[in-house]
Amino acid sequence: MPAGTPFWASPDITVTPSDPWGRVTAGDEVLVSVTVQNLGYAPASGVRARFWWADPSAGISPTLATVIGASDRTSIAAGQAETLPCTTLWTPQFVNGGHECLIVEVSCLGDPLTSTFRPDLDRHVGQRNVTVLAGEGEPHPMTLKLANPFSEEAPTTLYVRSFRLSSPHRLIGFGLHVHPIDALIHLQDRTLTDPFAALGIRTGPAEPMTGLQVGGLDIADVLGGGFGEEAQRLLRERRDHDTDFGTPAAETTLPAAGVAMVPVTVGLGGTGGQALIHRLTQVTDGVDVGGYTVVSLPG
């Protein structure tokens, strides 16, 4: 995917039951599903999805994730899509306020996985890192993990880009082609221009760090596992020093396969009746290796 793509917010991964904004309650059992498309010209046989969860992370590796389970195997006709539910229910834990990340990998007998845990490199992988905060209460603290995918130390910066969206409640029940929360997360998608206009919704950039505080990076005494040589080579090919990722919020040099923790505090309630969307992007050695999206809804 091109540099700057929020590949960590896939709309194809869903959890049920949830509220209209996709929020689930820690401690409740939920069903995680993924929508899979067969874009080929022949049936895909033996299609299976595997599901993981992890604490909020901008750079996820397999060693930082916990297995949820897998779907049953199925076949998908050419040009068709199917929703594959995990056969094991997931109980979100109240860690970091109950907010976690989901990773799904899909493969079939004739189309295997190529780059594990890398949705930017492999169309078989999906990732959903989204925190939706209630529009009331005290500022919400959480800890975000950053992981170096390379086998040598690398400079790492966490960037923030913030957006505003007016009257987000108008998205509920409108019949969009995406879930209302995905409309907030991908508000720059051109397919949303006409629906937003029809609803009288205005979008635009917010002042950097509006309603958001990011602390200093603390290198943890754990390793993220890193990735294989081929995945590292493909990641470096995505290096793009010309992309504007936003405002630098924290930076350090991560050791090989190192992990850093950064405290993030989000003000609740949006601002002035508007939702605030914060896109955090981890850039390591010039490569955007992951990110996290935080949505603050007005009361």
Determine the average pLDDT of the residues in 75-87. 97
Q: Please give the pLDDT value at position 94.
A: 57
Using the predicted structure, report yes or no on whether residue 55 has a pLDDT greater than 80: yes
Q: What integer is the mean pLDDT of 207-214?
A: 91
Predicted confidence (pLDDT) per residue in 14-34, tens digit: 999 988 888 888 788 999 999
Geometric angle at alpha carbon 110, from 108 and 114, rounded to 5°: 70
Rg (CA), the chain: 19
CA distances from 232 to 53, 191, 237 (A): 23, 33, 9
CA distance 193 to 18: 26
User: Which pLDDT score, from 0 to 100, does residue 270 have?
Assistant: 84
* pLDDT at residue 8, as a whole number: 93
Q: Are 279 and 293 in contact (CB under 8 A)?
A: yes
pLDDT for residue 6 is more than 70: yes
> CB–CB of 36/49 below 8 Å?
yes
Query: Which residue in this structure is represented by tokens 């405002």?
Result: 247
Residue 62 CA: distances (Å) to CA of 31, 52, 105: 21, 9, 12
Percentage of residues in the chain having pLDDT higher than 90: 68
How does residue 97 score in pLDDT terms, banded at 50, 70 and 90? low
Taking a C-beta distance cutoff of 8 angstroms, is the pair 216, 143 a contact? Answer: no
**pLDDT score of 233 more than 70:** yes
Percentage of the chain exceeding pLDDT 70: 98
Q: Which residue has the higher pLDDT, 35 or 96?
A: 35
Please tell me whether the peptide bond between 149 and the residue prior to it is cis, using omega within 30 degrees of 0. Answer: no
Q: Note the pLDDT tens digit of each residue in 122-180.
A: 999 999 988 888 777 788 888 999 999 999 999 999 999 999 999 999 999 998 889 99
pLDDT class of 250 with cuts at 50, 70, 90:
very high
Beta carbons of 173 and 282 less than 8 angstroms apart: no
* pLDDT score, position 7: 93
* In the chain, where the domains are located: 13-296
pLDDT of amino acid 42: 93
pLDDT at residue number 96: 58
Least confident residue range of 50-64, 157-171, 253-267, 285-299: 50-64
Under 8 Å between Cβ of 271 and 293? no
pLDDT at 98 over 80: no
* Top-confidence residue, 242 or 38: 38
DSSP letters of the chain?
A: --TT--TTB-TTEEEES--TT----TTS-BEEEEEEE--SSS-EEEEEEEEEEESSBSS--GGGEEEEEEPPPEEE-TT-EEEEE-SS-B----SGGG--EEEEEEEBTTB--SSTT-TTT-TTEEEEEEEEE-SSSS-EEEEEEEE--SSS-EEEEEEEEEEEEE-GGGGTTS--SS-HHHHHHTTT-GGGHHHHHHHT--EEE--TTTTEEE---EEEEEE-----HHHHHHHHHT--TT----EEEEEEEEPTTEEEEEEEEE-SS-BTTEEEEEEEEEEETTEEEEEEEEEE---
Q: Which phi and psi (to 5°) does residue 126 adopt?
A: -130, 150
Q: What is the pLDDT of residue 100?
A: 82
